[in-house]
Structures are given as structure tokens and as C-alpha cells.
Amino acid sequence: MAFTTVWSIITKIIDVCIVWFMFYYILKNVKNNVKLILIVKGVIVIFVIKLISELLDLYTVGILLEYVFEWGPIAIIVLFQPEIRSFLESIGRTKLLGRHKILTVEERERVVYEIMDAVEYLKKNKIGALMVIERDMSLQEYIDPATKVYADLTSPLLGTIFFPNSPLHDGGVIIQGNRITCAGAVFKTSMDPNLNKKLGTRHRAALGIAEESDAVALVVSEETGRLSIAVDHEIHYNLSLDEFRMMLVDELKPKTEIFYDADDSGNEGETNE
């Protein structure tokens, strides 16, 4: 087989892989954005109507759709500019790539202990709080305008920040590793129409950051003291302390450790057989 033939096959494979990856990444982000889903549905409906009009020779409908196809993209860009910008930001958002150290088991246990100690206090006294734990995706755009703290994560510090008379009470805290990076952070609220109307700004902000990043958002309701966790585009509402703790521990586990545990359990199963 000639070198040119082999090279042609390789380039075609690379071409298909790149196109497949682009479609996968776009569809993955569209799936997790409510308004982008509406845009896609609208475009599909228009294409179906266009196809029907051509099959049935509907002249007037065809003319109107010609104008829609001509000016539609501009209208979409103008009307859905925030959603499109958010989508492009998610594509361009950089990974941390080890900027923060990976916590040891002991350090993770300490983080969970301090957070749970603060959460129990906040829940008991019905003090509202929003804590966002950064993972792989950078939250620098929210850290920059917030009040910098750069302090070790401790329960008393969290209690002080969220104390009702504190000027930082209404904002969110961003946690990187085992340190509090900033307080008073303001996040974009979720626009999900299916979200419970009773949920307040904190819950919507928590879901908003979980929709556009891989962060874990912890919420304590100011009105009821109920606990919630927003992660992976979902919000888990009204958790018990034990459920809250177990979910927090699970989400703080490094991905490599999760894979390692799965491999270990699989190997044990093979040995038992």
C-alpha cells in the first residue's frame, strides 16, 4: 500500500474524529442549557415546516420561511446573546491542570468536618449560606470581583462570613482545595423554567453555577434551614445531615480515586469467583 494511500486514510480518520468530537461537545453543552435546547427545538420545527411547504408546494409559507432563514440567525444572536456567550465561555473555559494540590484523605476529611460543623450550626440557627467548591473548571471570573479571603477553611470563619449582620452574608463563598479563596461572590442564577418556584435566589444561584461548571454548590436555606446540594446541572433539595455529608464526601473524591476503587472492586469479584 502506497504511503499516500495510508496518509489519506489517516487524515480521513482524523477528520471524522474531529467532527465527531465537535458534535459531541456541542450536543453535550446544548443538553445542559435550557434556553439553547429551546433554540434547537425552534430551528428543528422551522426546518420541518420548510420541508412540508416544499412537499406540498405551499408558496406563501415558503416565502415567509425564506425571510426567516435570511434574518433568523441575526435575530437568534440578538435575542439569545447571553446564552450564546455562556456557551462559548464554557468551550473556552480553561482547566486548572493541577493548579491546586490534590487533597490527601486526611485533608479531605478535615474539609468535610469543618464544612459539616458549620452547616450544622447554620441549619440550627436558620442562617442562609452558599458555599461553592471549585473542582476542575476554573471559577476565576467569579473570584476576581469578590472579596478575597485566602484563609484556611474553618467552621468559625464560615459562621462569621454568613452571620446575618456580616456585609458578605448575601454572597457566596468559593472554596479551592482546603482554603476559602473569596467571599461575597455573585453567581448567575439558573433560568430553568422547571425549577421549583419556592426556591430563592441562593438555590437558583447554586443551580446556575452547577449548570455552567463542575463545581459543587452547598446551600443552607435562610427561611427553613433546609440543606441542598447543586451539582452536575441538578439540585438535590431538602437533604438530611447524613445525606448531605455522604454526598459531599462522594463529590470531593478525586476522579482517579473513584476509578481506582471501581477497579479494586472488580478485581475482588474476579478473585472470589
pLDDT at 31: 59
Q: Please tell me which residue, 242 or 26, carries the higher pLDDT value.
A: 242
Cβ(128)–Cβ(169) under 8 Å?
Answer: yes
Q: State residue 237's pLDDT score.
A: 92
Domains of the chain: 3-92 (no CATH), 105-257 (3.40.1700.10)
Mean per-residue pLDDT for 167-175?
A: 91
DSSP states along 78-110:
HHTHHHHHHHHHHHHPPB-TTSSPPPPHHHHHH
Phi-psi region of 109 (alpha: psi -120 to 50; beta: other; left: phi over 0): alpha
Residues 6+ apart with CB under 8 A from 117: 155
Q: Report the predicted TM-score, pTM, of the whole model to 2 decimal places.
A: 0.63
At 178, list the grid cell.
Answer: 482546603
CA distances from 202 to 110, 170, 206, 219, 230 (A): 25, 9, 6, 7, 11
pLDDT at 194 over 70: yes
Return the pLDDT at 77.
73
- The predicted-structure confidence for 69-104, as pLDDT tens digits, reads as follows 777 778 777 766 766 666 666 555 544 443 455 778
Separation CA 103–CA 163 (nearest Å) = 28
Mean pLDDT of 23-50: 72
Q: Residue 254 has what pLDDT? A: 76
What confidence score (pLDDT) does residue 197 get? 78
Per-residue pLDDT tens digits for 1-27? 577 777 888 888 888 888 887 777 666
| Selection from 182, 188, 164, 170 nearest residue 130 by Cα | 170
The pLDDT value given to residue 217: 96
DSSP-derived letter for residue 136 is S
Residue 65 φ then ψ, to 5°: -70, -30
Find the Cα–Cα–Cα–Cα dihedral 260, 265, 268, 270, rounded to 10°. -100
Per-residue pLDDT at 32 exceeds 60: no
Computed over every residue of the chain, the mean pLDDT equals 81
Q: What is the mean pLDDT of residues 213-242?
A: 93
> What is the average pLDDT across 108-114?
94
